[in-house]
Structure 1
Amino acid sequence: MTTVPGTVLVVEDEPSIADVLTIALRFHGFEVMCAATVRDALALAESTRPDAALLDVMLPDGDGRALGRELRARRPEVALVFLTARDAPAEIVGALGFGDDYITKPFNIDEVVARVQAVLRRVRPADVLPQRPPLRYGDLELDETTYTVRRAGRSVELTPTEYALLRFLMRNGGRIVPKEQLLRHVWQYEHAPPESTVVETYVSYLRRKLDALGPPVITTRRGVGYGLA
Structure 2
Amino acid sequence: MRLLIIEDDREAAAYLVKAFREAGHAVDHAGDGLDGYALAREGDYDVLIVDRMLPKLDGLSLVRSLREQAIATPVLILSALGQVDDRVKGLRAGGDDYLPKPYAFSELLARTEVLARRRTAATGQSEATAYRVGDLELDRLSHRVTRAGREIVLQPREFRLLEYLMRHAGQVVTRTMLLEHVWDYHFDPQTNVIDVHVSRLRAKIDRGFEHPMIHTVRGAGYVIRADEPQAS
Normalising by structure 1, report the TM-score.
Answer: 0.50
Max Rg structure: 2
Normalising by the residue count of structure 2, what TM-score does the alignment of the two structures yield?
0.49
